[in-house]
Amino acid sequence: MGRTQGSDARTLMDLRRITGGKGFHRQSAGLARYAFLFALLLFRGSPANAQTFQTLPEIDAYFKLTSRVQVYVQAKETREGGAPTQVEFGPSFEVYLKPWIKLKNPTLFNLNEAEKRVLVFSAGYRYLPSPNAPTVNRWRLDLTSNFPMKANLLLSDRNRADLDWQSGKFMWRYRNRLKVGRRFTIRSFHPGPYVSAEAFYQSQYQKWSTTALYAGCSLPLGKHVEIEPYYEHQNNTGKSPNQQLNQLGLILGLYF
């Protein structure tokens, strides 16, 4: 226990040195440090048991390659579609498709460049080890459309395909997620609350087996750091009896 506390203290001290330099607002840097520490503590995980409530930490790092391409690396804990709790890690490449225009008012303060584009294609790989099941190797394909609406609302429609290989067996699932959000301005702070709904079609069950409802808020901390707490409710009907999950997540986004 003492070693763990010492390690956490050293990690926080290192982060203070990194964020304490030029280019970070003092208050934003302080919030980012504690957000990072919170995510670090969450990654220790909650026990994998039959409880329907759990926490899901996530860290996403984005790197701009060109004016039309960015890559991001994702590390998170996940439990969805009736699968057990898993760690998920891997990169994705995002390409901005025509029309090559930027959305203005609804995305003025969004840190993620992909959210400012009308049409985005993404391809990536995910490695999903699990303590009680064989590892999953996943190829992930996304096509996301962003539509500006009245009152500075932004509607996003994400179509996603997961192509999974596990112990030589192939499975796939299709996911469609609709999301509506808006940025607000409170002096120099720009929170972005949103609500979202997603449906899963899974080949192993041959039906629409999972629905998920989300409510969250993205909180930018300067130009390079964002935290996003959210609540998710899942209803999984692939197996009997149905499974209800209530999840609290925290995403730490880093933009370079």
pLDDT of residue 9: 47
User: CB–CB of 219/200 below 8 Å?
Assistant: no
Q: Please, what is the average pLDDT of the chain?
A: 85
pLDDT at 230 over 50: yes
Q: Which residues contact 163 (CB under 8 A, 6 or more apart)?
A: 138, 139, 140, 141, 170, 172
Share of the chain above pLDDT 90, in %: 69
Residue 210 has pLDDT above 80, yes or no: yes
pLDDT category at 132 given cuts 50, 70, 90 is confident
pLDDT reading at 155 higher than 80: yes
Q: Give the tens place of pLDDT for each residue, 27-69.
A: 445 555 555 555 555 545 444 444 478 899 999 999 999 999 9
Q: Alpha-carbon distance 160 to 176, whole Å? A: 6
Q: Is 75 helix (H, G, I), strand (E, B) or coil?
A: strand
- Report the pLDDT value the prediction gives residue 41, as an integer from 0 to 100: 52
d(CA 189, CA 226): 12
Q: What is the mean pLDDT of the segment spanning 199-228?
A: 97
Q: How high is the pLDDT of residue 101?
A: 83
Q: Is 90 left (phi over 0), alpha (psi -120 to 50) or beta?
A: left
pTM (2 decimals)?
Answer: 0.80
pLDDT of residue 51: 43
Question: Rounded to an integer, what is the distance from CA 165 to the centroid of its chain?
Answer: 22
Is the model's pLDDT at 17 over the cut of 50? no
| Residue 31: predicted pLDDT | 52
Q: What are phi and psi of 21, to 5 degrees?
A: -80, -165
**pLDDT in the model for residue 53:** 82
Question: Among candidates 134, 142, 128, 50, which has minimal Cα distance to 93?
Answer: 142
Q: What is the percent of the chain where pLDDT is above 70? A: 80
Instruction: Spell out the domain ranges in the chain.
Output: 1-42, 43-255
pLDDT digits (tens, 9 = 90+) for 105-120: 888 899 999 999 999 9
Class for the domain spanning 43-255:
mainly beta
